[in-house]
Structure formats: C-alpha cells, structure tokens
Amino acid sequence: MRVRSLLAAVAVVLATMPWSDRLLSAAAQGGASDGAIYRWANGRWAQVEGFGRRIGVGPDGSPWVVNSNNEIYRWNGNGFDKLPGLARDIGIGGNNVVWIVGTDNGLYRWTGSDWERVQGEGMAISVDRAGQPWVVNPSSEIYQWTGDRFLPRSGRARDVGAGDEIWIVGTDSQIYRRNGNEWMAMGGSGERISAGANGTAWVVNDAGGIFQWSNGSFREVPGGLAMDIAANANGQVWIVGTARSARPARRPR
C-alpha cells in the first residue's frame, strides 16, 4: 500500500476538521501516522472516536486497536479503554480469544488481565472462527495453532485472514484462498486482508482501496481509504483510515 499518500490524505482530513471534533476523549490516540476508526453501517463508513494502525473485531462486533505507538485499546461500547502491553498486529477469534504479535515479534494470548507468551513469532496474525490463530512469521512462512503449538503450513504470505475460510496475501501481493492443503489464486492483489461472513473476504490494496469478495469476484466498497481492515463472521466490518477518498482506488489486478 502506498502508505505515504494515504497518511497524507488522513492528515488533510484531520486538519480540516473543527478542533472540537478532533479533540476526542483519551481513546486509541496515536501519532500522525494513525488513521481514524470507522465501522461499516447502512452502506457507509461511520466514524467513531480514536485512531490506530491495526484493527481486529470480535464476534460481538467490538474492535480492538493497535496504534502507531504500539499501544492496545479495546472498544467498550462508547469508547476505547487502554490495555497493558504493546503489539504490532492483533487478531480475535470466533471464541472471543484475542492474540497479538508483540513488538518483539513474539506471540501472545489475552488471559483477561494480561498477555501470555506462546511459542513462536510472527509479523501478522488472524484468528479463525474456532479460535485458532494463523500467523505469518518474519520469514513469510505460514503457521497454524493446533491447540498446543504452531505447525507450519504450505505457502508464503505477507498477511493472513482467518475465518470460516483462510485467505492470504501472498509474497507476490496476489490474493489466495486455502483449498485443502493448497492455495487457490482468487484474481486480485492487496496489502491487508480479513475473512468475513459466509466465505467472503475484505481486502485493502496498495492504494488504500477497499474491496469485498462477493459472488465470485472482488467488488469495490466506496467511500473510504484504509490502512487496515477487520471483519467477523456476522458481517461486521471496521477499518482504520479515512472516509474521504483522496484519489480513485485502483481495483485489484
């Protein structure tokens, strides 16, 4: 993704907003490289308070956010509460268990009060409907949690989206869906990916454009640019980015 162009667009939007609108409560606050937080509602992106760079969403529709300072925040229904620890990426399973990639690239599981270190390391993480995390490590290798350890899986990736089905952005930036023990090319490209309801996937491409896999192809979702996206099996979707497009999004190739 062309991060500099996207972040410049976010900065312009924030700079033109009234100061009273920008002075949000102390929730998921971050630096200049953070995006605003939006949820998909009634066919549009509706902004909520706070900022971040990475986002995950639980089965109840509540997002967890990591900002550019690597701080972790959880939505409480009205705003974000800051939690202990630091992270690079975050994922939430269908069983509501939360996993992170720490700033040391270590893998951690939320116990309800703190983060428990688990064997392995990663750079991207997503958790499937059964609560099993899928991880891409710093060498682009793919691993799946099997209940007591991570085991290697075929392929190489830049990002992973786990839900009812498993999707990846390959090291060639192409989008693939797991089919047995192999990966099937789905005809698009991207930077970030999340598995959604009913076998769908949501993708952010290198221009920040947002696309949904639906009825056998990727469909552009208008009205926003994103740096990360999170969806759950109930069809609830959140982004960090901006709801005002700075330039037309490019369709996945």
Number of residues that this document lists for the chain: 253
Could you give the 3-state DSSP secondary structure of residue 49? strand
- 35 pLDDT above the threshold of 80: yes
- 87 pLDDT above the threshold of 90: yes
Q: Which residues contact 11 (CB under 8 A, 6 or more apart)?
A: 32
Q: Cα–Cα distance between 102 and 122 in angstroms, integer? A: 8
Q: Cα–Cα distance between 218 and 189 in angstroms, integer? A: 10
Query: pLDDT > 70: what percent of the chain?
Result: 83
Q: Cα–Cα distance between 106 and 87 in angstroms, integer? A: 9
In the chain the first and final C-alpha atoms are separated, in Å, by 14
The model's pTM is 0.84
Taking phi first (over 0 means left), then psi (-120 to 50 degrees means alpha), and beta for anything else, what does residue 64 get?
beta
- 132-136 contact pairs (CB < 8 A, 24+): 132/93, 132/162, 133/91, 133/93, 133/99, 133/107, 133/162, 134/160, 134/162, 134/166, 135/101, 135/107, 135/160, 136/160, 136/168
- Contact 150/120 with Cβ under 8 angstroms? yes
pLDDT score at 219? 94
Q: What's the token pair of residue 215?
A: 């009825």
Question: Once rounded to an integer, what is the mean pLDDT over residues 112-122?
Answer: 97
pLDDT score at 221? 95
Could you give the 3-state DSSP secondary structure of residue 7? helix
Could you give the 3-state DSSP secondary structure of residue 10? helix
Confidence at 46, pLDDT banded by 50, 70, 90: very high
- 244 pLDDT above the threshold of 50: no
- Answer yes or no: CATH 3.40.50.11440 is held by domain 3-242: no
- The residue with tokens 């005809």 is 187
Mean pLDDT computed over every residue of the chain:
87
Q: Are strands 98-102 and 106-110 parallel, antiparallel or unpaired?
A: antiparallel
Query: pLDDT > 90: what percent of the chain?
Result: 80
Could you give the 3-state DSSP secondary structure of residue 17? coil
Higher pLDDT, 243 or 61: 61
Cα dihedral sign, 112-101-234-95 = negative
Helix (H) or strand (E) holding 27: none
pLDDT score at 252? 42
Tell which residue, 252, 204, 181, 184, has the closest CA to residue 1: 204
